[in-house]
Each structure stands twice: as structure tokens, then as C-alpha cells.
Structure 1
Amino acid sequence: MSHSTFDVTADGEPAADVLVVGLSSPGFAGVTATDYLTRHLPSEAVGHVSPAEFPTITPFAEGRPRNPTRIYDIEDTALAAVVGELFVPVPAAPAFVDSLLSWVEEAGISEIVVPYGIPFPHGPEEHDVFTVATDAFREHRLEGSGFDGLRGGVLDGPVGELVARSMNGAAPPTGALLTPVHSPGPDLEAAIRLVDALESLYGVDVDEGELRRQSRELQEYYATLADRMNAIEEGSRDYPEDRSYM
């Protein structure tokens, strides 16, 4: 068994059966989607995960610091959520999952879902949400849902560790909701797809207006930036190369 380098501090146990695990990864789609749920549905912070022997970060907003990996109870739903702003590298994944699953057992969580973005090659028609799930998760949650299994690949890090533990009977039924992302991100369109998927599977209703507005603004920003870069590149062709100041 790996030596735990993470501590879970819980102020209370959520009245929830399902844990949504939103983790930082390229594109930040999963953590963005999960954080959006906790901010737009009535939620209460009930704990956090701290690295005991691992470099950490201290996020802040409006001058107020917060723990990088937070646990929430989403009130009046079957959901609790982990919002992980601290990136957990592959070598630390077993220790992170050890600590998280110890808390999951104490809290009586019976299902785990991981919304996650992966920067795999894809065409415009593949901007969708796919699944990788254990048999128990698939039979209980995905029958008739319309979500297709991802054809092939490899899951690593905490999401791979969680699915593997579940597959071998050492974790509750677990499923990953996977969508292609454009890294480095943030890919807010991918986050919207994951929010939609969670709404569909778990019967929650989230006002996506803020996230869609932010996505439009980000797309407009990058389009303007690309136009400026093209204009600079084209304009530079009109002048001879001048090395007099080198």
C-alpha cells in the first residue's frame, strides 16, 4: 500500500449518495464544470483534502484564500462534490485516491462520477461526452442515457486509479464522463458539455447562462488575438529586414 501524502479534513458528512470528482487536467473542463455546480446550486463546504508531503497552492478570489481541493454537499440533491484545483500528478494518484476513498467509505458514498476533459484528436462532430465506466455503474446509471462508450485509450492519474479500483471491487461503482478539450484551456465549451451530462444523468437543473457568456467572451478574445497576430505577420512582410540595431 502506498504511503498517504494527503489528509482529508471533514467538518461534516454530506447527505449524498454520489460523489462528483472534478479534477484539474488540460483544458480544466472537469474542475470547471464541478465548481460551477457548487456555485450555482445551494452548496455547503464540508471538508477539504490537503497534501501532507506534496507542494500545494493557495487559490484566491476577491482577496479571499481557499483550500485547493474542497469537498461540498450540494443541498437537496443526491450529490456531493470534490473541486480539485491542485493538479495531482500520476505518481501521487494512488496516495490521493487512498485518502479520498477512506473518506468516501466513512461518508457512505455509493457511486463516483468523474467529469473529465482529454485532449485527444477529434473532429467537429466529436464534440460530445463519452463514458468509461465499470459494469455496475453502466447498469445502474447509463442504461438508456444515450452516452456512448469511448472507443479506446488509457486513463491515468486519479481518474484512472478510481476506475481501476472500482473495476477490482475496491471502490464504489465509478464512471468517467469524458469529453475532448482544446488545451491548455480553459475550454469552457467542454465544461458546458460536462455540466449538461451531469444534469441529464442526475436530474439537477443548473442555470448555465454565466458559463455560456464566459465561453463566448473567451472565444471572442482568442479570435481577436488571432486576427491581431495575423495582421502583424502580414504587416511584417511589407518591410525589409533591418539588422542595423542588432
Structure 2
Amino acid sequence: MPRDTAFTIDCPEIAPGQTLLVGLASPGMASLTAATHIVEEHEATEIGHVAPAELPAITPFEDGTPRHHTRLYDIDGESIVVLLSELFVPPWAARPFVEEVLDWATDSQIAEIAMLHPVAYEHAPDDHQVFYVATEEYETERLDGDVPPMSGGVLDGVPSEFLSHSLRGEGPPTGIYVTPAHPPGPDIDGALLFLDAVESTYDLDIDRSELEDFSREIKQHYETLAERMATLDEAEQSRDDREFYADRMYM
């Protein structure tokens, strides 16, 4: 497969000075779930899409209606444009993807970029929160202590490209919001954490009730499944015990 992948963005002019909120397909799908919920909750208007030239594409659909896999939405009454993608962008395609987004962001006078990025790594229960990795200008202008900084590590792929371009002055101030991922998903709890961070940082009203109900349903499903597995294990152990004593009668 060729590694020289090009992307194109089809989007009309938008009002300058807005924030670009990015949520891409990733382990656990927490960022995509959060971005999709924001779009649906605010009945955002689809204003454009991103298309790769060589990257194998997917065509999502619902109720028989297809849609672009990577879409741009405008939230009416808010200075936020949402970029969400149901297509996974591999690390080797991250640079051309980000460069195309930044070219469009420059032409559209995007003021800053905020990306939701779940990362799969070992973590303690106390780490179930959102952390930030941000350029100095983004941190100064946007963060006020509600979200703690991530202590250390390495980012790669799309978030790394956004940050490195911003550090070189080739992109707007950028903040990456990171939370531990729980693949394969759906990681609804991770999505709820992202929504908390977006709401506190951007003063955006978000009704979480639908996702909270879904989270409870998933937890109940796995609790019921665990109880069934435990019952099966007990039944299997009881049968093994009976067979053991039955075998001893003929020794």
C-alpha cells in the first residue's frame, strides 16, 4: 500500500476565530462517542467532509442512508466546529491528514485546536480522569486548573502531529485531552469523562442522560454475564467433585 496519502477537505467558508474540536476513531471509541454525542445533542449542521485519496475507505450508514466517514459540523450559537471521523487514521497517514486539516484551519482562521484522545495503557482507578498535553499558548489561554496535566510520556500519530506543528508555529494553539482507554469498547465512561472536560473548558451545556443510561445498561450486562459465568463454574466444579468420589468407589 502506498504510504504517500493525500487528503482533501470539502467545506464552505466558516466564521473566523472558532475552536476545532477533534474526535477520531480510536481504541474504545471514547473520543468518537463524545464528539458524536455533542453533535447530536446540539443538532449540529454538517458543513463538510474529509476524503483520503489512497487510504482504504469505509462508508458508514444508518437506516439505509450512507454518510461520509469523516465529517465537519458547525454548532449553532457556539464558536466550535467539530471534526469527527469513523475512519481510523494510521500513524503513517497522520502527517498528511494533519497538514490538510491545518491548511484548512489556516484558511478558515481557526483560533485553536482541541483533540480528544483515549490511550490504552495500564492505570489505577484514580487515573480514571482526563489529563491534558497542551502548547504553552493553549494552556495559558484556555486551561484554568479543572483538568490536570499529564505527568509524562510520548504521543504519536495524529495528536503528535497537531502538537509538533503548533510548537513550530505551523498551527494554532493546541490542546490534547487524554484519558485511559478501555478497548474494545464502547467505552462510554471514557466518553463521559471527555464530555465533562469539554463542558468545563468551553462552557458548553451537554445533556449526558442518554449516555449515562447506556453506561448503566452496559455495566448491568457485564455484571449479569459475570454472574452466569460464576454459576457455570460452580456447576462444573460440583460435577467434577461428584465424578471424583464416584471414581473412588471403583478403586
- Whether 2:228 is the aligned partner of 1:233: answer no
Q: In the alignment, is the contact (CA less than 8 A) between 1:16 and 1:73 conserved in 2? A: no
CA contact (8 A) 1:138 1:175 kept: yes
Q: Once the two structures are superposed, what CA deviation does each residue of 1:113-167 show, in whole Å capped at 9, x if it has no partner?
A: 001211222211221111000001001001x232211011111111111111111
Greater Cα shift, 232-241 or 65-74: 232-241
Between the two proteins, the alignment pairs up a number of residues equal to 239
Instruction: Report the structure, 1 or 2, having the larger helix content.
Output: 2
* AA of the residue aligned to 2:159: V
The residue that corresponds to 1:9 in the other structure is 10
Cα distance between partner residues in 2 of 1:86 and 1:75: 25
The match for 1:186 is 186
Q: 1:3 to 1:221 in 2, by over 3 A?
A: same
CA shift, 1:203, in A, is: 1.0
Aligned mates of 1:49, 1:192 — CA distance in 2: 26
What one-letter code is carried by the residue in structure 1 that aligns with 2:51? S
Q: How does 1:130-169 map to 2 (within 5 A)?
A: 130-142=131-143, 144-169=144-169
Aligned letter for 1:234?
E
Distance, in Å, in 1 between the alignment partners of 2:48 and 2:226 is 42
Which residue in the other structure is 2:30 paired with?
Answer: 29
SS at match of 2:27: coil
Report if aligned partners of 1:16, 1:79 keep a CA contact under 8 Å in 2: no
> Does structure 1 conserve the Cα–Cα contact (< 8 Å) formed by 2:181 and 2:187?
yes
SS of equivalent to 1:145: coil
Distance in 2, matches of 1:150 and 1:195, equals 18
Indicate whether 1:18 and 2:46 are aligned: no
TM-score of the two chains, using structure 1 as the length reference: 0.91
Task: Give 1:7 shift.
Answer: 1.4
Q: Is the 8 A contact 2:146 2:200 kept in 1?
A: no
Give CA deviations for 1:158-195 in whole Å, capped at 9, x if unaligned.
Answer: 11111111112111000011111211111101101101
In angstroms, what is the RMSD of aligned CA positions? 1.7
Q: Deviations along 1:13-68, whole A, 9 cap, x unmatched?
A: 25651000001111111111111111001311110111110101111122221111
Residue type matched to 1:167 in 2?
Answer: L
Tell me the SS of whatever aligns to 2:28: coil
Distance 2:89 2:113 in 1: 18
Letter in 1 for 2:169: G
- Contact preservation (8 Å) 1:4, 1:99: no
**Kept after mapping to 2: 8 A contact 1:71/1:80:** yes
Post-superposition shift, 1:11?
Answer: 3.9
Cα displacement (A) at 1:102: 1.3
Retained in 2: the 8 A contact 1:4–1:98?
no
Task: Write the letter of the residue equivalent to 2:161.
Answer: E
Q: What is the identity, as a one-letter code, of the residue corresponding to 1:133?
A: A
From the superposition, tell whether residues 154 and 28 of structure 1 become closer, same or farther in structure 2 (CA, over 3 Å): same
* Residue type of the alignment partner of 2:191: A
Pairs within 5 Å for 1:1-246: 3-13=4-14, 17-142=18-143, 144-239=144-239
Q: In structure 1, give the amino acid aligned to 2:82.
A: A
- Matched letter for residue 178 of structure 2: L
Larger radius of gyration: 2
Q: Is the 8 A contact 2:95 2:158 kept in 1?
A: yes
Query: Secondary structure at 1:153's aligned position in 2?
Result: coil
Q: Gaps spanning 5+ residues in structure 1: where?
A: 242-246
Q: 1:221 to 1:14 in 2, by over 3 A?
A: farther
Other-structure match for 1:244: none
